[in-house]
Structure 1
């Protein structure tokens, strides 16, 4: 008897687990006591041996099913057990696991949890999970998390925890409640993935996206978001926006280099942040930002009064009036500040920023180092400015500009020596628009270049025409103002030369007038271009001298022929000896440098007398003539030439003395007694002991 027979029954029974090699399936084979099979199948064509009753077949089928089900169940359980074990190992290896009870006590953690937290397992088990809290999440965040898992729901989110050494780390966390038979949580299973590297990268990207890389302050996008959020809260508190632009920054940047310019911006940002720290008592929130270039803004929230913004502005003005020490350089860069408050009831951040910008430009226009609070009149002014800008463009296309010419008179002979070309604009409605209303706008927009080039061409054309119509009575030369933008053009000198050649005008008959503030804006570049013009034969004038910021000692460095004293200087001569002494100094310096001096804005005989007494050789102003149309100037010159010689009475009508004179001083430094008298037809002349000079 085989071993197999020993475990099988001696009565009718079943033998299970036989494997059909053809079908790879198990079969149940019934046997008789004489070891013959019942319904045994030998092949597809075989017949049965023995007799099988229906009852026995049913019993065999039931036994067959039960054995198969039990085998399958055991197999499935084993497979599931193996799969769960593998899954646990995989999850534990890849994830950070922790289990807590409903009170928050830590029940279990895996090795990964210990590694990232810095705690040993025995330091964590039994501790409250709050040992890991970082304080980075607000109450609302925690309340929502606890509420979700307390209801037996799965919660997922990002949690920042604090390690044993105090460092912070971020986890992408899934918390699954484990429920009892009644559906209530009895513990919580937390699966976490360390996302600290990703959060650091996001932080870097956020820093780049919302912070200025040079100064570390918030950038334009960030401050616009903050302003918009503040507008949404404006009904609850007062807020204000300060727009700061720093005077002379471009000069520092261009003259000393971009590295020094960057150092200045960093120093400005530090000074701004330090000063604003003291503004906290006035505002609940203070956010400084850099928009770009030398433009900064400050958002003040939670002000008790909107007017408190001006207190902050005044502090900033005082702080920024002080010098900066940047390496070997000491520079000054004061601030112009525009202020807008929430009382204007804005709905969009960009509108609030726009109006603060308008107020800042108004502060610059009123003298810099100042602040201006926005009002609606500034917006109207801006709209009018935009209207002028658009009309200038049309005026260029329609050729609406014209030139008037004002005589420049010799104060020795009373004769017209030259004329200054002055632009005028009459629009299509016949309205005369003064230069003060459009020149600055044209300068800022760049439209001054085509306008200025037209002026040069028209002046040269007019000189050539006067040569034909007036002959020897034609003005010796014409003075033409040029803008800083024109002077900066690389082909400016060649353009003027080609223009004079086109009209057959000698270069020496054209005076190029520049302001002292213009040439001091970029001193080296200005010297280079003016030297080029001088070499080509053109004359160089400094216009409005005495109103800029150049040093008298710098005059020798520029290739200048004429100094034109500003009209405001002349108008103040009657108000004290200081102005006379300053003008006398300028004239003396000009003599030493072999420069001619023209006094602008002479409107009465008293001014004329004082100007001549101080040694000025040429004058210009309404006392002699208003600006004239070309045809009217022709008649003026003919009348001037037809008048008989003029003279001045020797009996004094006014004496002007300069203090602290010395008998050894040259004649132009001696106190002078001069008299004025009429020469007929409103013209005047002076008699002094000098040889006649010309411009």
Structure 2
């Protein structure tokens, strides 16, 4: 049987307590007729009035009951559970209000069971607003006020789901684009001009998009567009063309007019494509290809697989460099006139425990793109001269041979090459005239002034410089004559199948004559037969290398190869 309601005089202490509280609070009890509010403070009755007069955020009746304080209090009396906490939200004349509510039993004494419940409601509206503001800032790019990557993904997840017809293929796409040569503008005009350019780009692109399309800035100069495309690729092409036309007129930055070029790539959603983040990565992979092709690129499955493969390769290569898992092999360079070993070209090899044997044609481009070419190049430099020093010690005196090592164009730009060479020579105790640095044509002519300084520093250390793959690049006679180059290496494309090919023989003869006129020596690559070696010798070529003489050899085999050839040199 339910106890009678307490007398008013019994509640005086509670009344004073509730009035002292700064938030809505009331003392509740239960009788046969239902739930009763015994006493409450003014804040409580104002809270009840506001809630009753305004709509709860929950739409369904069952949800409204669950979030109603009366329903929760009645349930607590019925279940006799120890306490209850819940959130309550509704709109009043000031906007959204959010409360954290609690129900707790009031223990009167040990002899009498608890029959009163204290209800409190703490206003958390300010905290909710702060959380909402912080979340908005987290998902918005501060420079352009566009969604950032996080906000973009979250926003389009809902849009993609709403725009997807039931039981049919998806009809939306992500179009990515970024600004070509943005870093050059940033470096030339400064960061503020770069920011102004980004803002202008965002405005222009937004002005040509359709209602419902979403534009976001997902990186420094990277943007993405989400679009419903009911007509598939043809509609994507229309959007891309509008974006491209938005930059036909140059952008004015201060007193400069800047012609902006964008690289565009897109990824179309597939029937089973629910992962928006993956679709965005696919669009970015397509943009990367667009930078090379200059046209809109549509993602293909092998593009991302290739990107993942390169990423794996980069991480494995970093570990291989750190753990000393790379090795060097050495291919002999033969004096074509005498048959003696003139020296060796040092070549890097990598056999990974997971990937197996990895070709230099695979890992060198990855090293250059990631910046790993700098530690890799320094390691190769030290390793080859140290090997030469070890051979000297084994033979008991200085060997009359040189060591060739390749220098990447990227290492030329990013590293202090003269210092790296000087340190490698000093630590190994090798004279500079026994080292030959091989540089490609493109590396030599990319920045003539910087190249001239580098070659001058190498020349001061008595280091020989060879131009590798001569004849395949775009060097001109003026740069060739002005740079301190000692050796021209004739590319294997002119040597392969040269026997019986009058044109190739004429090219080789011209290169040899040019080198002689400029006081340079020549080395031919790719010699595979005795006839090739003999023909090159007759044309006046000084040195040669190729499978006819030997494949690249491990250090010990290369040393023994020199010992045997020095005893009985043959061509």
TM-score by length of 1: 0.51
Distance 2:497 2:198 in 1: 40
Counterpart CA distance in 2 for 1:442 and 1:313 is 33
Distance 1:392 1:270, change over 3 A: closer
Q: 1:258 to 1:623 in 2, by over 3 A?
A: farther
The match for 1:384 among 281, 292, 309 is 309
The reply on whether 1:235 has 2:164 as its aligned counterpart is: yes
State the match for 2:360 in structure 1: 435
- Distance in 2 between the 1:353 and 1:596 partners? 53
Q: Distance in 1 between matches of 2:324 and 2:362?
A: 18
Aligned partner of 1:302 among 229, 232, 251: 229
Partner of 1:509: 434
Deviation at 1:505, TM superposition (A): 0.6
- 8 Å contact kept, 1:542–1:563: yes
State the partner residue of 2:118.
none
The offset of 1:342, in angstroms, is 1.2
Structure 1 distance, partners of 2:335, 2:180, is 40
Change (3 A) 1:417 1:359: same
> What is residue 340 of structure 1 aligned with on the other side?
267
Partners of 1:449 and 1:536 in 2: CA distance: 21
Counterpart position of 1:537: 462
Task: Give the 3 Å change call, closer, same or farther, for CA 271–383 of structure 1 in structure 2.
Answer: closer
- 1:500 to partner: Cα distance: 1.3
2-structure distance, mates of 1:624, 1:368: 41
1:410-421 equivalent positions in 2, closer than 5 A: 410-421=335-346
- The answer to whether the 8 A contact 2:173-2:229 is kept is no
Alignment partner, residue 351 of structure 1: 278
- For 1:424, the equivalent position in structure 2 comes to 349
* 1:563 partnered with 2:496: no
After superposing the two structures, state which structure 1 stretch, 516-525 or 400-409, moved more.
516-525
Task: Compare 433-442 and 621-630 and name the one that shifted more.
Answer: 433-442
Are the structure 2 counterparts of residues 425 and 344 from structure 1 closer, same or farther at C-alpha, using a change threshold of 3 Å? farther
Where does residue 597 of structure 1 map in the other structure? 522
1:223 to partner: Cα distance: 5.2
Supply the distance in 1 between the matched residues of 2:141 and 2:298 (Cα, whole angstroms). Answer: 28
Correspondence for 2:332: 407
1:333 and 1:582, CA in 2 relative to 1: closer, same or farther beyond 3 A?
farther
**Which runs of structure 2 are paired with 1:5-44 in the superposition (5 Å)?**
none
| Residue of structure 2 equivalent to 1:81 | none
SS in 1 for 2:270: helix
- Contact 1:273/1:288 (<8 A) preserved: no
Q: Indicate the SS of the match to 2:327.
A: strand
Is contact 1:210–1:221 with CA below 8 Å preserved after alignment?
A: no
- Pairwise mapping of residues 38-77 of structure 1 onto structure 2 (< 5 A)? none
Does the Cα contact within 8 Å between 2:204 and 2:246 map onto a contact in 1?
no
Deviates more, 1:294-303 or 1:441-450: 294-303
1:488 Cα deviation from its structure 2 partner: 4.2
State the Cα distance separating 1:630 from its structure 2 match: 1.6
SS at the partner of 1:628? coil
Q: Deviations over 1:583-624 (max 9, x none)?
A: 555545434433333232333456556656765433222232
Equivalences, count? 438
Structure of greater relative contact order (alpha carbons < 8 Å, 6+ residues apart): 2
Distance 1:326 1:633, change over 3 A: farther
Unaligned 5+ residue runs, structure 1?
1-152, 158-201, 645-682, 685-695
Matches within 5 A, 1:224-303: 224=153, 227-228=156-157, 230-236=159-165, 238-244=171-177, 257-258=188-189, 291-292=218-219, 295-303=222-230
User: Alpha-carbon deviation of 1:478?
Assistant: 0.6
Rg (Cα) greater in structure: 1
TM-score by length of 2: 0.60
Change (3 A) 1:382 1:263: closer
Distance in 2 between the 1:576 and 1:312 partners? 52
Q: Distance in 2 between matches of 1:511 and 1:459?
A: 11
CA 1:473–1:492 in structure 2 vs 1: closer, same or farther (change >3 Å)?
A: closer
